[in-house]
C-alpha cells in the first residue's frame, strides 16, 4: 500500500483518523493494533482479483471516481450492493426525475409476524451517487451486465429478531438499516431504509470527537472538508486506499452491538456467495468485473471474503411466502438527508 505524501491533500484526514484511533484505543498496544489492522484491511481489499470499488452513499466524490473508473476499466460485469430482488425496477430509472426511491412493499405476510405488517423497504437513488452512475453505465453500455448481490428485501426482515421489542408500534424505524436511531418521523413512511455505503460513524462519541477536532458542527461538513474535497481530484489507487482506510477505522471503533455487526457480516457472506455463484455460472474473468459496495464492507473480515477462501459454503435461506410488490416513488432531499446523515449535496457529477 502506498500512502498519500505527508504534505499532500490528505494530511488533515490522516491526522484526524490517527487522533480518533488514539482517543478511543484503551492502550498503546490497542492503538498499534488498530493502525496496523487498517493497513492490513487496505492490502487485503486491494489484493482481490475482483476489483472492489468502495463508496460512500450519495457522495459526489465517489460518483466522480466511479465515472472515471468506468471509462478506464470498462467492466463487463458490475456487482452492486443492493437488494437483489429490486433489479427489475432499475431499468425504469431512465423514465424518472431523480431523486427517487426504489420500494418493495408487502401487506400479505407469510413467514413474518403478522403484527409487523405492512412491510416496506426503500432504497434512495440520487444522480450524485456512485451506484446510480454504475447503474446507468450498465444499462446504456451494450454487453455490460449489472448484478445486484445484497440480500433480498424478504431477508431484511427474516434477519430481524422475531420479538415484539424488535418493532415498536408494529413498525421498524426508517433509519434502522442506516445505522442511526429511529426516533424521528419516518420520511418515507414506516419503511426500512437500505443503502450503499453508510459511512457515518457508528456511535455518537466518535462523531463528536471528529466534529470537535475538525472544528465543524455537522457530520456533512466534516466529510466535505476532509474527504470529499481531497478525493475529488484523487487518482484511482489513492481513492480506494482512503475509502477502505475510513471504512476500516469506523468498523474497528464500532461499539459492541453484536446484533448489528452480525447482520452486516451476514450481508457480506451473502454478497460474496452471490458473486462466486455468478462467476462460476458465467465463466467471466474476475478481472473484467467490478464490485461496488460501501467502504465499511470493503474492509470485511468474514471468512467468505474474496475469491480464494476455503471457508465452508454459506447457505442462503429461501425466501418466505410473503408476496412482495415493487415500484418507484418520488423522493426529495429530506429523506436522503435523514437516511444518510448528509446535508444537501454539494454538486452533481457530470
Query: Domain map of the chain by residue range?
Result: 11-97+128-159+196-300
Is the pLDDT confidence value at 179 over 90?
no
Q: What is the pLDDT of residues 70-80, one digit of tens each?
A: 999 999 999 99
Instruction: Kindly report the pTM of this predicted structure.
Output: 0.82
Task: Please write the tens of the pLDDT for every residue from 111-159.
Answer: 999 999 899 999 888 888 899 999 999 999 999 999 999 999 999 999 9
Element housing 292 (H / E): strand 289-294
Q: How confident is the model at residue 241 (pLDDT cuts 50, 70, 90)?
A: very high
User: Distance (Å, rounded) from C-alpha 1 to C-alpha 95?
Assistant: 42
Percentage with pLDDT > 70 across the chain: 76
pLDDT value for 83: 96
Cα angle: 150, vertex 153, 159; to 5 degrees: 85
3-state SS class at 104: strand
The highest-confidence range among 180-194, 248-262, 298-312, by mean pLDDT, is: 298-312
Alpha-carbon distance of 52 to 290, in angstroms, equals 6
Of 54-68, 208-222, 249-263, the poorest mean pLDDT is in: 249-263
Q: Return the top range by mean pLDDT from 75-79, 172-176, 258-262, 294-298.
A: 75-79
Greater confidence (153 vs 172) lies with: 153
Cis peptide upstream of residue 46 (ω within 30 degrees of 0): no
117's grid cell: 405488517
Q: H or E segment at 271?
A: helix 258-282
> For 332-349, how does the pLDDT look when each residue is reduced to its tens digit (9 = 90+)?
654 444 444 444 333 322
For residue 105, pLDDT beyond 60: yes
| pLDDT at residue 162, as a whole number | 74
- Note the pLDDT of residue 108: 92
The reported pLDDT for the residue numbered 28 is: 66
Dihedral, CA of residue 186, residue 197, residue 6 and residue 219, to nearest 10: 0
Maximal C-alpha separation, the chain: 59
pLDDT at position 5: 42
CA neighbor of 134 nearest in space, from 47, 243, 53: 53
Neighbours of 277 (CB within 10 A): 14
Which CA distances in Å does 288 have to 27, 51, 251?
43, 8, 29
Quick check: 170 pLDDT over 50? no
CB–CB of 199/56 below 8 Å? yes
Q: Which range has the worst mean pLDDT, 104-113, 254-263, 329-338?
A: 329-338
CA distance 69 to 64: 9
Q: Between the CA of residue 151 and those of 112, 125, 270, 273, 281, what are the distances in Å? A: 16, 18, 6, 11, 19
- Model confidence pLDDT, tens digit, residues 32-48: 777 788 888 999 999 99
How far is it, in rounded angstroms, from Cα 59 to Cα 80? Answer: 16
Torsion-angle region of residue 172: left (phi > 0), alpha (psi -120 to 50) or beta?
beta
Residue given cell 466534529 in the structure block: 211
Strand partners, 295: none
Q: Bigger pLDDT: 233 or 152?
A: 152
Beta bridge partners of 163: none
Reply yes or no on whether the pLDDT at 189 is more than 50: no
Average pLDDT along the chain? 80
Most confident region among 156-165, 246-255, 289-298 by mean pLDDT: 289-298
Q: What angle do CA 236, 279, 132 make, to 5 degrees?
A: 45
Q: What is the mean pLDDT of residues 210-235?
A: 89
Q: What is the mean pLDDT of residues 304-312?
A: 90
pLDDT at 344: 38
CB-CB contact of 154 with 85 (8 Å): yes
Cell numbers of 53, please?
470499488
Cis preceding-peptide flag for 245 (omega within 30 of 0): no
E strands present in 95-140? 100-106, 119-125
Q: State the Cα–Cα distance between residues 59 and 16, nearest whole angstrom.
A: 19
More confident residue, 177 or 149: 149
Amino acid at each position: 500500500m502506498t500512502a498519500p505524501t505527508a504534505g499532500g491533500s490528505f494530511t488533515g484526514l490522516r491526522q484526524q483518523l490517527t487522533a480518533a484511533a488514539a482517543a478511543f484505543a484503551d492502550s498503546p498496544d490497542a492503538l498499534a493494533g488498530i493502525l496496523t489492522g487498517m493497513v492490513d484491511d487496505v492490502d487485503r481489499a486491494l489484493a482481490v482479483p475482483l476489483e472492489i470499488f468502495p463508496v460512500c452513499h450519495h457522495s459526489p466524490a465517489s460518483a466522480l471516481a466511479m465515472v472515471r473508473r468506468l471509462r478506464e476499466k470498462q467492466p463487463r460485469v458490475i456487482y452492486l450492493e443492493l437488494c437483489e430482488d429490486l433489479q427489475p425496477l432499475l431499468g425504469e430509472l431512465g423514465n424518472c426525475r431523480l431523486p427517487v426511491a426504489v420500494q418493495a412493499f408487502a401487506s400479505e405476510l407469510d413467514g413474518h409476524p403478522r403484527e409487523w405488517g405492512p412491510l416496506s423497504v426503500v432504497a434512495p437513488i440520487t444522480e450524485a451517487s456512485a451506484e446510480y452512475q454504475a447503474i446507468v453505465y450498465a444499462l446504456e453500455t451494450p454487453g455490460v451486465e449489472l448484478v445486484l448481490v445484497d440480500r433480498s428485501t424478504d431477508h431484511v426482515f427474516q434477519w430481524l429478531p422475531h420479538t415484539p421489542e424488535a418493532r415498536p408500534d408494529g413498525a421498524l424505524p426508517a433509519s434502522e438499516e442506516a445505522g442511526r436511531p429511529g426516533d424521528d418521523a419516518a420520511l418515507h413512511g414506516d419503511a426500512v431504509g437500505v443503502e450503499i455505503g453508510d459511512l457515518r460513524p457508528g456511535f455518537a462519541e466518535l462523531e463528536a470527537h471528529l466534529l470537535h477536532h475538525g472544528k465543524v458542527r455537522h457530520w456533512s461538513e466534516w466529510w466535505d472538508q476532509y474527504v470529499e474535497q481531497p478525493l475529488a481530484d484523487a487518482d484511482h489507487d489513492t481513492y480506494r486506499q482512503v475509502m477502505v482506510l475510513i471504512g476500516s477505522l469506523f468498523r474497528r471503533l464500532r461499539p459492541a452491538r453484536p446484533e448489528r455487526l452480525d447482520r452486516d457480516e451476514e450481508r457480506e457472506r451473502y454478497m460474496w456467495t452471490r458473486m462466486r455463484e455468478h462467476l462460476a455460472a458465467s465463466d467471466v474473468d474476475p478481472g473484467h468485473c467490478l464490485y461496488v459496495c460501501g467502504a465499511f464492507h470493503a474492509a470485511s473480515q468474514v471468512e467468505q471474503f474474496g475469491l480464494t477462501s476455503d471457508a465452508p459454503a454459506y447457505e442462503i435461506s429461501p425466501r418466505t411466502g410473503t408476496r412482495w410488490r415493487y415500484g418507484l416513488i418520488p423522493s426529495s432531499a429530506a429523506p436522503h438527508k435523514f437516511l444518510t446523515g448528509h446535508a444537501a449535496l454539494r454538486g452533481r457529477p457530470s
